[in-house]
Structure 1
Amino acid sequence: MNALLYPFMLLSALGLLLSIASHLSALAGIPIPGGHLVWSLHAGIFAVWLPTILVANRMSRHGKRSDFWTLALSGCPVWARYMLYGLFGYAVINFIFCMNNMPGHQGGLNASNDGTEVRLFSGHWMVFYAVALATLYSAINNPHLLKSRKCAHGHEVAPFDQFCPTCGAVLAPDHPRT
Structure 2
Amino acid sequence: MGVSVMDHYPQVWYLHFGVFVVFFPMVQSFKQDFGSAPSMSALRMVLPPWVFWVCMAISAYAILNFILFFVSMQQGSPAIWDGKYVLQSHGHFVRELSGAEYAQDRANELRGFSGHWLVFYSVSFAYFMFAKADTSRRFLR
TM over 0.5: yes
Matched, 1:121 2:113: yes
Partner of 2:51: 80
1:89-108 paired onto structure 2 within 5 Å: 89-102=60-73, 104=76, 105-106=87-88
Aligned counterparts of 2:20 and 2:47: Cα–Cα separation in 1: 22
- What are the superposed Cα offsets for residues 46-66 of structure 1, whole Å, 9 maximum, x if unpaired? 11122101111112118xx5x
Count of residue correspondences: 115
Structure 2 unmatched ranges of 5 or more = 77-86, 92-101
TM-score by length of 2: 0.68
| Contact 1:75/1:141 (<8 A) preserved | yes
Structure 1 unmatched ranges of 5 or more = 1-27, 148-173
Higher strand share: 2
Indicate the RMSD between aligned Cα atoms, in angstroms: 2.7
Question: CA shift at 1:144, angstroms?
Answer: 5.8
Change (3 A) 1:144 1:95: same
Letter in 2 for 1:85: M
Give the counterpart of 1:142 among 114, 135, 138: 135
Percent identical residues: 28
Higher helix share: 2
TM-score by length of 1: 0.55
Partner of 2:79: none
Question: CA shift at 1:70, angstroms?
Answer: 2.6
